[in-house]
């Protein structure tokens, strides 16, 4: 049998972790497709390649269901960034991050960075109805109409509601505060045996997002991508020794999996 | 295996069962329900020596509404190479029905010897009790329901519409044609097709009380009939599956469908894990592990109702010029990596080709049921089609205790109709397998395969060139030619007058009825000529094939026979296009000493997928 040629390895790996239904798939979909649409519960894990400038960033969207628990550490192996996602309206989803998902990151890179992301902020926070990420209206042309509507019109939103709360458009009780997330971030650093001082600050690494409105979504991904750049460069340098790399990189560069956004 | 509950003295035609008596003394109901809490029933409910509460099935779909005529064909000469078998006469009733094997694939292991079935009273009792249990939740009375045949199809919603939020107290809930419930032996709800399991927990409790009562006397409850409903129970390990159906399907068919549901659950969790979980914790809430998978089960049940592949336990592949199919197979054959065991190409939810590893599956073939589960999984999980999916999956008939790792990716975004499925035994092989996809993609671009595939489509019955023939399903059995091949069948598009959902379902119901007669355990038939009001059907099973045909009502018996002769000739002529003739193989294992199915070799991954640690 002929030697199987090595898969063009992406430069870096980012993993979305968190309980099912917190909105991981929706976040990724919002970021790559600029849309919010109905999702189907993820099976296993889904791999995406995102072109970020000259780099290829692989993103693993995981199911978060207990059924696939055993695969978590495999998806996390060698990860440069892990996005720990919870639902701001669901305290348990934050608790699960610590109980169930944090240990999966043991296989991640030693210098892996962690983001704690509270999604569905649109349900609790009027300001999350307006996306800060619009650096131009043109970018958002393809979106569903409802995404751009004003908060007070949300109640008339015709799309299937994600939860009973969005049906009425009322503001839900925010079960997880920003402070809770900051505290979790601190505990993550401790779990990893990292010094708070020499690590990225909690304020920078805790996000509140809305996949539904797009609030903070681009900021989240782009902050992370910028932060993993050093990791990419180091990896590329390490690979310089290998003669096959040039070839691989050529193929990577001509990869056709460019997403709708460019950078 | 064979359940023998046939009725004597039935020459030919339709078996009619007396509907169970309508009147049910209210005090019996009240008593029974008050006793439920103690898991006790009044003495006469289930006789000690009775194995089942099975009652002879009511058979004819139309008898009440439509004048139906059914007769045996005389052995008229059919000039095909296939010798016409004897028709259904008293002498050959005992003769083994050659197509029994096909249903065994799904049914195996579920047939228990059944004895005395003269239990109509308890049957009625039990059904009424189920109905009463629902009433308790609703606080309203049972209203008359419409004919199941009238509502056939109309209640069926498009795939993947969630019925979780449905109001279980509504009349519409009870009018669903087929309910399916899954519960644990401890009575914990696991799945309900319509309505949330929580809302139905008391109904499930009643079912479980029934099951455990019958179990406690060493009997296994199998099915219950009432005028309107057939209730079929299936216990598999620690799971109890229940179907409450107002379709006129046979118990055997309904049990086969429940088995598909069981297998789909196994495909997600493996049999071994489920056993271990319940050994560990009898009242474990399995919904924790199946959360998010409800739509996969919903999708499966919708397919089971609408796709005859499940009934026939055979694969329907997309008709394709054999040269194109061969070239696709060759592309798959060339893109391999260690531990890859199956490469499957799917278009429009139908199989294009399947290539398998030589040694892993030396002495076996992929069972159609496993392929159905895979196709359903793909259909149900493809909402976010841009990514490349990597997920553990168990093929229950191949090996119920082990996982494969499935790579699923669409080759034609954004349309997403052509799907590649690669199965590996190595959990870590994602990147290597994804690389195979890139090779396949490249080769397909070079050969312009995608646009050729896009042109492929199902065929019209008019191509057969036989007037009066409206539709058919033809399933060849293994012949030396395609020995150890995948069981397949071919069938044209359903066209007018079967274009509407209702009419499609009606035709499928007729086929299901013919199928149940052909596969009847008590009195299998080889040939049925069934004259209904709006069409005439002819079903014929030989040692070489199983055939169901639907003609316009004006056809004569002689015409039908000529038509079938022509049809068989046409299929013979077209078979290279209609079927996957020679499933190709490749070799990805360096040492060819691996054992195959069931062998707990180092091949498929038998780990527990990690969730046991979460108990
Ligand atoms: N209101 C609101 N609903 C959301 C948001 N993100 C996801 N959802 C909904 O939450 C449910 C689960 O989303 P999904 O992305 O599948 O979650 P995952 O299991 O973590 O991938 C879906 O019904 C989404 O529509 C959000 O930002 N706001
Ligand atoms: Mg998801």
How far is B399 from B404, CA to CA, in rounded Å? 10
The confidence score (pLDDT) of residue B31 equals: 28
Radius of gyration of chain A (CA): 19
Q: In which band, very low, low, confident or very high, does the pLDDT at A62 lie, cut at 50, 70 and 90?
A: very high
| Per-chain mean pLDDT for chain A | 78
The confidence score (pLDDT) of residue B514 equals: 96
Q: What is the pLDDT of residues A39-56, one digit of tens each?
A: 888 888 999 988 888 889
For domain B3-42+52-87+126-306, is the CATH number 3.30.450.70?
yes
Tokens of B291: 């959360």
Residue B487 contacts by C-beta under 8 Å, 6 or more apart in sequence?
B102, B105, B312, B313, B314, B315, B368, B475, B477, B478
Residue A194 contacts by C-beta under 8 Å, 6 or more apart in sequence?
none
pLDDT along chain B (615 residues), means of 10: 38 34 33 28 32 34 37 40 32 34 34 33 45 40 31 36 64 78 85 76 69 63 75 89 87 94 95 92 88 89 95 94 95 94 92 86 77 90 73 93 94 88 94 96 96 93 93 83 73 94 96 95 91 94 94 93 94 92 77 43 52 54
Nearest ligand 1 atom to alpha carbon A20: 19
Specify burial of residue B483 (Cβ count, 10 A radius: 0-12, 13-18, 19+). Answer: exposed
How far is A184 from A189, CA to CA, in rounded Å? 9
Residue range(s) of every CATH 3.30.450.70 domain in chain B: 3-42+52-87+126-306
The confidence score (pLDDT) of residue A174 equals: 86
Radius of gyration of chain B (CA): 25
How far is B189 from B292, CA to CA, in rounded Å? 15
pTM of the model: 0.76
- Cβ-based neighbour number of residue B458 at 10 Å: 14
Residue A214 Cβ < 6 Å to ligand 1: no
- Most A-contacting residue of B293, B300, B378, B390 (CB-CB within 10 A), to test interface: B390
Distance from CA of A121 to the nearest CA of B (A): 22
The number of residues in chain B equals: 615
Identity of the residue in A7, A32, A69 whose CB atom sits nearest the CB atom of B435: A7
- Most B-contacting residue of A3, A4, A23 (CB-CB within 10 A), to test interface: A4
For residue A260, is it within any domain? no
Q: Under an 8 A CB cutoff, do A7 and B390 touch?
A: no
Residue range(s) of every CATH 3.30.450.30 domain in chain B: 320-447+589-612
Q: A15, A21, A40: which to mutate for ligand 1, most atoms within 8 A of CB?
A: A21
Query: Measured between beta carbons, which residues in chain A are less than 8 angstroms from residue B608?
Result: 70
Nearest ligand 1 atom to alpha carbon A22: 20
Class of domain B92-122+458-583: alpha beta
How far is A89 from A170, CA to CA, in rounded Å? 13
> How far, in Å, are B326, B392, B590, B598 from residue B355 at the CA level?
11, 20, 18, 20
Distance from CA of A56 to the nearest CA of B (A): 14
- Which of B281, B262, B280, B107 minimizes the C-alpha distance to B190? B262
Q: What is the pLDDT of residues A108-167, one digit of tens each?
A: 999 999 999 999 999 998 888 876 555 443 344 344 444 443 444 333 334 444 444 444
B460 φψ region: left (φ > 0), alpha (ψ -120 to 50), beta (else): beta
Please identify which residue in the block is written with the tokens 């497709």: A33
Q: How many structural domains compose chain A? A: 1
Q: Which domain holds residue A197?
A: 2-255
Interface residue A119 vs chain B (CB under 8 A) = no
- Cβ-based neighbour number of residue A29 at 10 Å: 23
For residue A20, is it within any domain? yes
| Residue with the larger pLDDT of the pair B218 and A106 | A106
Q: How far is the CA of A62 from the centre of ligand 2 (A)?
A: 6
Nearest ligand 1 atom to alpha carbon A211: 27
Q: ipTM score here?
A: 0.78
Topology of B320-447+589-612 in CATH? Beta-Lactamase (3.30.450)
Q: Indicate which ligand has the atom closest to the C-alpha of A157.
A: 1
For residue A262, is it within any domain? no
Residue A123 Cβ < 6 Å to ligand 1: yes
Determine the distance from the C-alpha atom of residue B97 to the mean position of all C-alpha atoms in its chain, rounded to a whole number.
20
How far is B295 from B464, CA to CA, in rounded Å? 38
Residue nearest atom 12 in ligand 1 by C-alpha distance: A21
Residue nearest atom 13 in ligand 1 by C-alpha distance: A23
Let me know the angle formed at the C-alpha of B289 by B283 and B295, rounded to the nearest 5 degrees. 120
For residue A96, is it within any domain? yes
Q: Indicate which ligand has the atom closest to the C-alpha of A39.
A: 1
Phi, psi of B83 (to 5 degrees): -70, 135
Q: Under an 8 A CB cutoff, do A40 and B380 touch?
A: yes
For residue A263, is it within any domain? no
Interface residue A38 vs chain B (CB under 8 A) = yes
Residue of A nearest to B609 (CA): A70
SS3 B95: coil
Q: Under an 8 A CB cutoff, do B289 and A65 touch?
A: yes
Residue A25 Cβ < 6 Å to ligand 1: yes
Residue nearest atom 25 in ligand 1 by C-alpha distance: A162
């Amino acid at each position: 049998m002929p030697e199987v040629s090595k898969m063009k390895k992406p430069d870096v790996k980012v993993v979305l972790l968190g309980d099912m239904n917190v909105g991981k798939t929706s976040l990724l979909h919002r970021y790559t497709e600029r849309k919010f649409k109905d999702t189907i519960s993820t099976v296993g894990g889904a791999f995406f390649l995102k072109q970020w400038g000259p780099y290829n960033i692989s993103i693993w969207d995981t199911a978060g269901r207990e059924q696939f628990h055993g695969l978590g550490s495999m998806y996390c192996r060698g990860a440069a960034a892990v996005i720990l996602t919870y639902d701001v309206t669901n305290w348990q989803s934050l608790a699960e991050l610590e109980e169930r998902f944090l240990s999966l990151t043991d296989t991640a890179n030693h210098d892996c960075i962690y983001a704690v992301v509270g999604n569905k902020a649109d349900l609790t926070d009027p300001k999350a109805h307006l996306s800060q990420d619009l650096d131009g209206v043109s970018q958002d042309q393809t979106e569903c109409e409802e995404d751009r509507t004003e908060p007070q019109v949300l109640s008339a939103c015709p799309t299937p509601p994600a939860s009973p709360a969005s049906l009425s458009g009322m503001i839900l009780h925010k079960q997880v505060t920003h402070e809770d997330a900051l505290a979790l971030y601190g505990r993550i650093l401790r779990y990893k045996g990292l010094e708070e001082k020499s690590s990225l600050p909690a304020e920078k690494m805790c996000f509140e997002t809305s996949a539904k409105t797009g609030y903070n979504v681009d900021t989240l991904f782009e902050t992370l991508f910028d932060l993993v750049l050093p990791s990419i460069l180091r990896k590329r340098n390490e690979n310089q020794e290998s003669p096959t790399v040039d070839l691989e990189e050529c193929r990577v560069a001509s990869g056709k999996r460019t997403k709708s956004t460019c950078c | 295996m064979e359940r023998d509950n046939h009725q004597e003295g039935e020459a030919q035609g339709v078996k009619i069962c007396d509907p169970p008596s309508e009147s049910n003394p209210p005090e019996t109901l009240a008593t029974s329900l008050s006793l439920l809490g103690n898991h006790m029933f009044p003495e006469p409910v289930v006789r000690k020596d009775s194995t089942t509460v099975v009652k002879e099935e009511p058979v004819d779909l139309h008898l009440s509404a439509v004048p139906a005529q059914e007769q045996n064909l005389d052995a008229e000469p059919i000039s095909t190479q296939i010798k016409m078998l004897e028709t259904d006469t008293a002498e050959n009733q005992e003769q083994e029905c050659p197509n029994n094997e096909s249903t065994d694939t799904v049914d195996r292991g579920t047939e228990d010897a059944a004895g005395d079935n003269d239990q109509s009273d308890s049957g009625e009792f039990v059904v009424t009790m189920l109905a009463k249990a629902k009433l308790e939740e609703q606080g309203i009375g049972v209203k008359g329901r419409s004919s199941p045949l009238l509502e056939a199809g109309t209640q069926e919603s498009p795939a993947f519409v969630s019925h979780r939020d449905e109001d279980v107290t509504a009349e519409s809930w009870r009018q669903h044609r087929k309910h399916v419930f899954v519960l644990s032996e401890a009575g914990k709800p696991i799945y309900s097709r319509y309505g949330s399991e929580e809302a139905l927990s008391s109904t499930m409790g009643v079912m479980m009380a029934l099951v455990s009562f019958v179990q406690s006397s060493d009997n296994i409850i199998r099915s219950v009939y009432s005028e309107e409903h057939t209730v079929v129970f299936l216990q598999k390990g620690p799971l109890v599956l229940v179907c409450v159906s107002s379709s006129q399907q046979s118990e055997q068919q309904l049990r086969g469908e429940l088995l598909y549901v069981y297998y789909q659950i196994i495909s997600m969790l493996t049999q071994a894990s489920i056993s271990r979980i319940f050994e560990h914790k009898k009242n474990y809430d399995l919904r924790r592990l199946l959360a998010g998978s409800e739509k996969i089960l919903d999708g499966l049940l919708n397919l089971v109702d609408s796709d005859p592949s499940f009934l026939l336990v055979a694969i329907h592949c997309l008709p394709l010029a054999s040269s194109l199919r061969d070239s696709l197979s060759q592309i798959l054959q060339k893109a391999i990596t260690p531990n890859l065991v199956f490469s499957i190409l799917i278009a429009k939810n139908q199989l294009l080709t399947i290539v398998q590893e030589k040694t892993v599956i030396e002495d076996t073939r992929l069972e159609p049921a496993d392929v159905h589960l895979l196709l359903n999984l793909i259909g149900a999980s493809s909402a976010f089609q841009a990514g490349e999916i990597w997920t553990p999956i168990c093929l229950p008939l191949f090996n119920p205790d082990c996982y494969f790792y499935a790579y699923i990716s669409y080759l034609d975004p954004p349309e997403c109709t052509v799907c590649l499925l690669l199965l590996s035994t190595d959990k870590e092989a994602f990147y290597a397998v994804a690389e195979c996809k890139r090779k396949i993609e490249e080769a397909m671009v070079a050969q312009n395969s995608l646009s050729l595939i896009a042109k492929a489509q199902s065929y019209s019955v008019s191509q057969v060139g036989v007037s009066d023939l409206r539709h058919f399903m033809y399933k060849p059995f293994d012949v030396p030619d395609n020995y150890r091949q995948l069981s397949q069948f071919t069938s044209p598009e359903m066209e007018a007058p079967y274009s509407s959902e209702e009419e499609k379902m009606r035709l499928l119901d007729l086929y299901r009825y013919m199928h149940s007669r052909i596969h009847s355990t008590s009195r299998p038939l080889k040939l049925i000529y069934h004259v209904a009001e709006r069409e005439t059907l002819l079903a014929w099973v030989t040692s070489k094939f199983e055939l169901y045909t639907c003609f316009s009502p004006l056809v004569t018996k002689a015409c039908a026979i000529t038509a079938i002769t022509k049809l068989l000739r046409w299929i013979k002529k077209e078979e290279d296009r209609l079927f996957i003739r020679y499933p190709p193989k490749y070799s990805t294992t360096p040492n060819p000493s691996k054992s195959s199915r069931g062998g707990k070799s180092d091949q498929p991954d038998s780990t527990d997928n990690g969730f046991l640690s979460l108990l």
